[in-house]
Amino acid sequence: MAAARITVFNTLTMQKEPLVPTREGKVGIYVCGPTVYSYVHIGNARTFTSFDVVVRYLRYRGLDVTYVRNYTDVDDKIIHAAHETGEDPIHLAARFVDAFREDARALHLLEPDVSPKVSDHIPDIIAIIGKLVAHGVAYESQGDVYFQVSRYPEYAKLSKRHLDELRAGERVQPGEQKREPLDFALWKAAKPGEPAWDSPWGRGRPGWHIECSAMSARYLGESFDVHGGGLDLIFPHHENEIAQSEAAFHKPFAQYWMHCGFLDLEGAKMSKSLGNVVRLRDALQRVDPEALRYFLLSTHYRNPLSFSDKSLADAEARLEYFYETLSKVDARIAGRDFGKGPLHGEPGRFRTEFEAAMDDDFNVPGGMAALSGLFAEMNELTDKPPVKDKALVGRTLQALREDVRRISSVLGVFEDAPEAWLLRRRDRAVRERGIDVGQVEALIGERNAARAAKDFARADQLRVQMKGLGVDIMDTAQGTTWKVTPA
């Protein structure tokens, strides 16, 4: 069975384990989505892109995946942000949900099967809190409800901390009515001007962690397969989710915990206090969205990734190579019938290599190596075919092109029409560099006239002139084309 071949690094055990879904052939995955108080940053984007590929690959392997990624739209930070703009918190959150959807589309993120919001699940949340109170692991205190950590002996099994050490560093916020410092809020009594709902404990709103316990249970069941998020969510968020869910339902919560590493800014942590947060939205303006996606996937999801203009430029250059190859290959094989028959070499080996890498805890960089081999093979067959049989070459190219499509569907890159992507990229560069296209075309015309007249000195002079404008020209069988010199 395909799934058994896939191995996942489980934060719970700190080991790679075979992925064995609870229900044969089906995988439920819950990823902690954005708290929508602002635009998401590129670190968020990395996490969501990583899990996007996880979901795509599980489906590629034939698993029936239910992918849930929530929006936390009721939260302290949202309330603060709304106070500053004078906006209604729920309205502000809705605005940023829309913004996120736009950014996500640009990044080619799949729409999850379910994208639940906290504000739509208050009854579910109240029901779980009610269970926890009934089980004696949570208590009401002046309109707040707290989870009593000491009543859940397995607390901190995910982050592997010791309770006494945690206690040493704990502090109680003013106004909190906890029995013990480690206890955390499940429900917060309403303050004036805050979104609030009726509950058995009075009007109030959910605490931070409970929504994920409620929404995962609703859409995936009280026990499900994979739970994901950023590294920094391990403590306390995921820890608290485990405590709440397992104490409420008396069964194991998520089987596999997957955590995505950080993205930093050339070594420096991205943080609001340093003022070096890069919004996904802004990054999307600066670089081709697909290049950004390719960059985000260029390091294994658990390793740190460093964001820089150079790495972005590298990603874009690489994408250009892929698209130029595809453009060339498509021109060769599109709409042609090369008949049936044998293929040259073993074109399927690249996809096999790709799968082997991806089976191993979603090793995307390993998979990219296979992809490099695949593209080199396509280029060779197109430009310097080692065999004369054109039908054989054509069939092989078609097979390789088909494998590119399958791999693309997993990585979510180079799915565009190659010509369209190439032109879009050039147009953007033309705008950025302020290049006069009419002038370029005139110069090309002049140069071709000089070449026809064998006036190569003049032709070379024009080439140099265009180089000075930031334009590289290429003489091909289809005529002279040009592109903008990489900055």
Partner RNA sequence: GGCGCCAUAGCCAAGUGGUAAGGCAAGGGUCUGCAAAACCCUCAUUCCCCGGUUCGAAUCCGGGUGGCGCCUCCA
Enumerate residues 364-423 that contact RNA by CB under 7 A.
365-366, 368-369, 372-373, 375-376, 379-380, 382-384
Select from 18-26, 109-117, 121-129, 296-304 the region that touches RNA (CB under 7 A).
296-304
Taking CB under 7 A as the criterion, which residues in 51-110 touch RNA? 77
By CB under 7 A, tell whether 460 contacts RNA. Answer: yes
Q: How far is the CB of 392 from RNA (least distance, A)?
A: 18
Pick one of 26, 262, 356, 408: the residue that binds RNA (CB under 7 A): 262
Query: How many residues comprise the chain?
Result: 487
One-letter amino acid for residue 250 of the chain: H
Residue whose CB is less far from RNA, 204 or 229: 229
Q: Which residue has the tokens 């990624």?
A: 69
CA-CA distances (angstroms) from residue 286 to 34, 108, 314? 22, 17, 14
The Cα-based distances of 246 to 128, 250, 484 in angstroms read 11, 5, 58
**Of positions 8, 27, 47, 68, contacts RNA by CB under 7 A:** 47
Of the listed pieces 106-114, 186-194, 254-262, 409-417, which binds RNA according to CB under 7 A? 254-262
Task: Out of 29, 32, 58, 319, name the contact with RNA by CB under 7 A.
Answer: 32
Q: How far is the CB of 339 from RNA (least distance, A)?
A: 25
Which positions from 142 through 201 interact with RNA, judged by CB under 7 A? Answer: 159-162, 165-166, 168-170
Q: Count of alpha carbons within 13 Å of 447, Cβ hemisphere only?
A: 21
Residues numbered 433-452 forming contacts with RNA, rule: CB under 7 A: 451
Q: Which residues contact 12 (CB under 8 A, 6 or more apart)?
A: 157, 158, 256, 257
Displacement of CA 89 from its chain's centroid (Å):
27
Options 153, 174, 192, 267; binder of RNA; rule CB under 7 A: 267
Could you tell me the CA-to-CA distances from 107 to 102, 175, 289, 323, 358 in Å, in that order? Answer: 9, 42, 6, 17, 21
Closest contact distance (angstroms) between CB of 483 and RNA is 7
Tell me whether residue 339 or residue 464 sits nearer to RNA (CB atom): 464
* Binding window for RNA (CB under 7 A); candidates: 134-142, 257-265, 286-294, 329-337: 257-265
Find the shortest distance in angstroms from Cβ 83 to RNA: 16
**Between residues 64 and 282, which has the closer beta carbon with respect to RNA?**
282
Cβ 338 to RNA shortest distance, Å: 20
The nearest distance, CB 259 to RNA, in angstroms, is 7
Phi, psi of 18 (to 5 degrees): -65, 135
Of positions 270, 284, 356, 469, contacts RNA by CB under 7 A: 270
Question: How distant, in Å, are the alpha carbons of 19, 137, 214, 476, 482 from that of 130?
Answer: 33, 10, 12, 72, 68
Interface residue with RNA, options 6, 8, 12, 44 (CB under 7 A): 44
- With residue 197 as reference, give the H or E element that holds it: none
Instruction: Compute how many residues bind RNA; rule: CB under 7 A.
Output: 81
Nearest distance from C-beta of residue 416 to RNA, angstroms? 18
Residue number, 71 or 135, with CB nearest to RNA: 71
> Which residue stretch of 114-122, 302-310, 418-426, 436-444 sits at the interface with RNA (rule: CB under 7 A)?
302-310
Q: Could you give the C-alpha distances from 400 to 354, 365, 411, in angstroms and in order?
A: 13, 20, 16
Measured CA to CA, the distance from residue 317 to residue 298 in angstroms comes to 13
Q: Report the C-alpha gap between 473 and 487 in whole angstroms.
A: 16
* Backbone dihedral angles phi then psi of residue 451, each to the nearest 5 degrees: -65, -40
Do the Cβ atoms of 370 and 411 come closer than 8 Å? no
DSSP 479: E
Containing 388, the helix (H) or strand (E) segment is none
Q: How far is CA 465 from CA 447, 451, 461, 471, in A?
A: 11, 15, 6, 9
Helix (H) or strand (E) holding 462: helix 456-468
Q: Which of residues 227-246 bind RNA (CB under 7 A)?
A: 229-237
Instruction: Specify the residue for token string 């739970």.
Output: 227
Q: Is 111 in the site for RNA (CB under 7 A)?
A: no
Name the one range near RNA by CB under 7 A: 59-67, 216-224, 303-311, 339-347: 303-311
Cβ-based nearer residue to RNA, 341 or 386: 386
Among residues 235 and 249, whose Cβ is nearest to RNA? Answer: 235
Residues numbered 304-363 forming contacts with RNA, rule: CB under 7 A: 304-306, 310-311, 314, 317-318, 321, 324-325, 357, 360-361, 363
Query: Given the complex with RNA, which of 130 and 181 has the nearer CB atom?
Result: 181
Whichever of 339 and 414 has its CB closer to RNA, that residue is 414
Q: Single out the residue of 84, 275, 334, 476 in contact with RNA (rule: CB under 7 A).
A: 476
Do residues 3 and 256 touch, judged by C-beta distance below 8 A? no
